[in-house]
Amino acid sequence: MNWGELVIALRQKVREVRPLIHHITNLVVTNLTANVTLAVGASPVMAYAREEVADMARLARAVVLNMGTLTADEVEAMLLAGRAASAAGIPVIFDPVGAGATPFRTATAQRIIRELHIDILRGNASEIAAVSGFGGQTRGVDAGEISVPAGQMARQVARDLGTVVVVTGATDYISDGERLIAVANGHALLTTVTGTGCSATSVIAAFRAVEADGVTAGAAALAYYGLAAEHAAATSRGPASFQVALLDALYKLEGEDLARGVKIREL
Amino acid sequence: MNWGELVIALRQKVREVRPLIHHITNLVVTNLTANVTLAVGASPVMAYAREEVADMARLARAVVLNMGTLTADEVEAMLLAGRAASAAGIPVIFDPVGAGATPFRTATAQRIIRELHIDILRGNASEIAAVSGFGGQTRGVDAGEISVPAGQMARQVARDLGTVVVVTGATDYISDGERLIAVANGHALLTTVTGTGCSATSVIAAFRAVEADGVTAGAAALAYYGLAAEHAAATSRGPASFQVALLDALYKLEGEDLARGVKIREL
Amino acid sequence: MNWGELVIALRQKVREVRPLIHHITNLVVTNLTANVTLAVGASPVMAYAREEVADMARLARAVVLNMGTLTADEVEAMLLAGRAASAAGIPVIFDPVGAGATPFRTATAQRIIRELHIDILRGNASEIAAVSGFGGQTRGVDAGEISVPAGQMARQVARDLGTVVVVTGATDYISDGERLIAVANGHALLTTVTGTGCSATSVIAAFRAVEADGVTAGAAALAYYGLAAEHAAATSRGPASFQVALLDALYKLEGEDLARGVKIREL
């Protein structure tokens, strides 16, 4: 497979289809992830009320559930939206932000995974370890330390949960339990801006909305996102100008720049 | 009427009076609309608790109600704030974000319009169509397709509801049921950033706070906002640098640049 | 004491320790204060659910409570987090946003101060006056007018409450009831961006997390923050480009630039 051409094709398809991505997400990244979703060419909608989340989820092409600032009410809304989406064949992408940091967070993440059909699970290594019982330790909502290589964990958790698992970090790993893909795009400045992991989840959802294979969608989305970060870093003077340049790059990146830059490897 | 001079005069008056604009708004645009309000020279306050919204509304010169991420609690707060404002003669500007997308949203928008005295109603064509029973269809919170020309709809809905109606789009229409004004300022990049419609509502509220005639305030505010977008687009490299430049332009735009640029036409 | 060297040393220590700062903050500034916390080298976590705030507070090195968009639920979460923090010897920094604007806000601020052990109280002059019974008047969440010189008020309120008090404004004052320090760094553009006061609170929390003396931490943090604002203003074209430059400067400012620029004076 020529990954460069595939990333270009999927990026183009997102712009043509303009899929609606329903987010139930956290208070820190609501604005940023809406703008990231727009920048890649999809259409974001953020809706949280129990009275409407099922209706909104059914209008969407993908549903993002992100528990960064979860409350009991929001968890109920996530379950309603997730069930409605699955019943309608709409993929659910779950971002278990901060799983492992507190018992409530870990238990909630595990409950969501148990009660919903998750199509793609995206987290950093410590979050994925926490939800899957791999041990490890989460420090706040940042990546902590885990003892199992991330790629091996991605494959094992994908197999155990029967879902596509994406473990992001300096290198990202995507697996469905059989295939395992590594994406080496990205830049250290991503760790200096809040919500860049949540934004990656939104980009994955946009690509998944137009590509039925979750592993392909996840790898292509992360290569695209990481390459945009590389371009952005070249012109920025710190974290905030980097964030501005990242969104601009997500909006503009295409063609040869994209084809040459993607670093995707099947392991 | 010389619209150029009028826009300059109102812009200046906002800066002199520095009216307090109480917002009950959505989670996506809270920060952006606060900054837009500051950039045009007004003073934003965001307050949601039922225990204080009536008190806060009475301190304000205009109240913005925006249901982008509505919940049942927030709707109650909007009704409390709206009633307190109207009782004190303070104008209420309502932004029915996403009306038409779900039954809950449409019903809530209609309830707010029925129970409160709305001074200005601002939405895109599909939202205004949804709240007024013009049919049409809303896709998420973005503009959908409607079959009636926007100007004609603005006038009809204004007449039916007895309020000023603003329908924003490539051309904006403002009507009180009799007069109908078109504003042709703006830029396509506005559709690539989340919350630019909500931001327009905040600018309208700031102008309405210092100008009793809602049609004049709405037209002047949208010309000012649209012209700032045109200036911003000239120096931006994508949606995020455009948003930064838009806020800078709202802060700085004045004098001849402003007088020459406004495109307001009475129909 | 050589303040220049002290500010450099504390700035460096924040980066080395990377303290976790738990925020329960308002909807307007959630994203901004998370990014400010990251930019100065600390690690932010925003968590609000009653089920986890005590656990999260105990993981942190400092807890920020900010009541800008308070609700009854959030107040309960603040009390739970604050009690857990104090029991574990973790400093609580309180920002009574908008105290004085409505009876609910003033009463809530006073309740938090009464029921919790506040390590540092940070507000503008009208907010500090409101919570301490100095009279004065708050206009929305902006600074109003008060009749007592800010430095004198800082010392008196610190003495009355037995806490460190920081009164920010054109000149900032920090006192523990005995010592009184004035910081003259800063720039007028800070008043054109929402959440710059809340951001100052986050920087103070990050410095306090690595420096046990609250007066020293507060003065060093505000000099650092104000100096970053001065640098940012030199290259910005309005409020939004200023905000971007401010975050970039908070990330980069160090060494001689820092040592020469701080304007701290013991009164």
| B46 contacts in chain A (CB < 8 Å) | none
Q: Which amino acid is at A63?
A: V
Q: For C139, which DSSP code?
A: B
Residue A233: phi and psi, rounded to 5, are -60, -30
- As annotated, the binding site of C for substrate includes 46, 195
Rounded mean pLDDT, C68-91: 96
Contact A38 B194 (CB under 8 A): yes
The pLDDT confidence band at residue C178, using thresholds 50, 70 and 90, is: very high
pLDDT reported for residue B68: 94
Sequence-ordered list of residues with C-beta below 8 angstroms from that of C2, at least 6 positions apart, any chain:
none
Helix, strand, coil share of chain A (percent; to 5): 55, 15, 30
pLDDT in tens, C153-172: 999 999 999 999 999 999 99
pLDDT reported for residue B224: 98
| B139 contacts in chain A (CB < 8 Å) | 20, 43, 59
What is the distance in angstroms between the Cα of C13 and the nearest Cα belonging to chain A?
17
| DSSP assignment of B80-97 | HHHHHHHHTT--EEEE-T
pLDDT reported for residue A146: 55
Beta bridge partners, C120, equal C93, C164
The pLDDT confidence band at residue A134, using thresholds 50, 70 and 90, is: confident
Chain B residue with CA closest to A42: the answer is B192
Calpha distance B206→B62 (Å, rounded): 7
The pLDDT confidence band at residue A138, using thresholds 50, 70 and 90, is: low
Closest Cβ opposite residue C194 in set B22, B27, B31: B31
pLDDT reported for residue B98: 96
The two structure tokens encoding residue C175: 């006192």
CA-to-CA dists, residue A146 to A127, A128, A139, B203, angstroms: 10, 10, 11, 49
What is the distance in angstroms between the Cα of C1 and the nearest Cα belonging to chain B?
39
Q: Which helix (H) or strand (E) holds B249?
A: helix B239-252
Closest Cβ opposite residue C237 in set B44, B46, B248: B248
Helix pair A239-252, B239-252: axis angle to 10 deg: 120
pLDDT reported for residue C35: 98
pLDDT reported for residue B148: 67
Rounded mean pLDDT, A131-148: 61
- B226 closest CA partner among B200, B202, B192, B206: B200
Rounded mean pLDDT, A256-262: 91
Closest Cβ opposite residue B49 in set C31, C71, C241: C71
pLDDT in tens, A177-187: 999 999 999 99
Calpha distance C50→C81 (Å, rounded): 8
Rounded mean pLDDT, C189-205: 98
Which residue, chain included where needed, has tokens 């600390």? C42
Say if C98 is an interface residue toward chain B (CB within 8 Å): yes
pLDDT reported for residue C266: 95
N-terminal to C-terminal alpha carbon distance within chain B: 14
Residue B167: phi and psi, rounded to 5, are -110, 110
Average model confidence (pLDDT) across chain A: 94
pLDDT reported for residue B138: 55
What is the distance in angstroms between the Cα of B39 and the nearest Cα belonging to chain C?
7
Antiparallel, parallel or unpaired: β C43-46 and C62-66: unpaired
Sequence-ordered list of residues with C-beta below 8 angstroms from that of C223, at least 6 positions apart, any chain:
C3, C7, C183, C185, C261, C262, C263, C264
Q: Which of residues 168-207 of B touch C (CB under 8 A)?
A: none
pLDDT reported for residue A1: 66
The pLDDT confidence band at residue A140, using thresholds 50, 70 and 90, is: low
Which residue, chain included where needed, has tokens 């306090």? C208
The two structure tokens encoding residue A177: 């339990």
| A141 contacts in chain C (CB < 8 Å) | 45
Sequence-ordered list of residues with C-beta below 8 angstroms from that of C143, at least 6 positions apart, any chain:
C124, C125, C126, C127, C169
CA-to-CA dists, residue A27 to A103, A206, C5, C45, C46, angstroms: 20, 20, 37, 11, 9
Q: Which candidate in B27, B43, B244 is best for mutational testing of the C interface (most C CBs within 10 A)? A: B244
Contact A139 C20 (CB under 8 A): yes
| DSSP assignment of B114-138 | HHS--SEEEEEHHHHHHHHT-----
pLDDT reported for residue B143: 53
Say if C259 is an interface residue toward chain A (CB within 8 Å): no
Say if B33 is an interface residue toward chain C (CB within 8 Å): no
Rounded mean pLDDT, C208-234: 98
Calpha distance B143→B100 (Å, rounded): 10
- C244 closest CA partner among A221, B229, A236, B135: A236
- Is it the case that residue C2 has pLDDT exceeding 80? yes
pLDDT reported for residue A255: 87
Say if A59 is an interface residue toward chain B (CB within 8 Å): yes
Say if B254 is an interface residue toward chain C (CB within 8 Å): no
Contact C69 B51 (CB under 8 A): no
Contact A238 C20 (CB under 8 A): no
- Is it the case that residue C105 has pLDDT exceeding 80? yes
Contact C59 A193 (CB under 8 A): no
Contact B239 A47 (CB under 8 A): no
Say if C240 is an interface residue toward chain B (CB within 8 Å): yes
Q: Which helix (H) or strand (E) holds C181?
A: strand C180-183
Calpha distance B47→B53 (Å, rounded): 6
pLDDT reported for residue C135: 57
What is the distance in angstroms between the Cα of B6 and the nearest Cα belonging to chain A?
34
Calpha distance C235→A91 (Å, rounded): 45
Closest Cβ opposite residue A248 in set B71, B72, B240: B240
Provide the percentage of residues in chain A whose pLDDT is more than 70. Answer: 94
Calpha distance A53→A48 (Å, rounded): 6
Residue ranges and CATH numbers for the domains of chain C are: 3-266 (3.40.1190.20)
Contact B52 C104 (CB under 8 A): yes
Antiparallel, parallel or unpaired: β B62-66 and B20-24: parallel
What is the distance in angstroms between the Cα of B235 and the nearest Cα belonging to chain C?
12
Calpha distance C90→C119 (Å, rounded): 9
CA angle at residue B140 from B134 to B146, to 5 degrees? Answer: 30
The whole-number mean pLDDT for each consecutive block of 10 residues of chain B, a chain of 267 residues, reads 92 98 97 98 97 98 96 95 98 97 96 97 96 66 63 96 97 97 98 98 98 98 98 97 98 91 95
What is the distance in angstroms between the Cα of B75 and the nearest Cα belonging to chain A?
11
Q: Which candidate in B46, B48, B141 is best for mutational testing of the A interface (most A CBs within 10 A)? A: B141
Which residue, chain included where needed, has tokens 């327009």? B200
| C29 contacts in chain B (CB < 8 Å) | 31
Quick check: A173 and A151 in contact, CB under 8 A? Answer: yes
- Is it the case that residue C144 has pLDDT exceeding 70? no
Closest Cβ opposite residue C192 in set B27, B31, B38: B38
pLDDT reported for residue A257: 85
CA-to-CA dists, residue C25 to C32, C89, C178, C202, angstroms: 11, 21, 30, 10
Calpha distance B96→B111 (Å, rounded): 11
- Across A194-249, the runs of DSSP E, i.e. the strands, are none
Contact A31 B32 (CB under 8 A): yes
pLDDT reported for residue A148: 67
pLDDT in tens, C33-45: 999 999 999 999 9
Say if C239 is an interface residue toward chain B (CB within 8 Å): yes
What is the distance in angstroms between the Cα of C52 and the nearest Cα belonging to chain A?
6
Say if B239 is an interface residue toward chain A (CB within 8 Å): yes
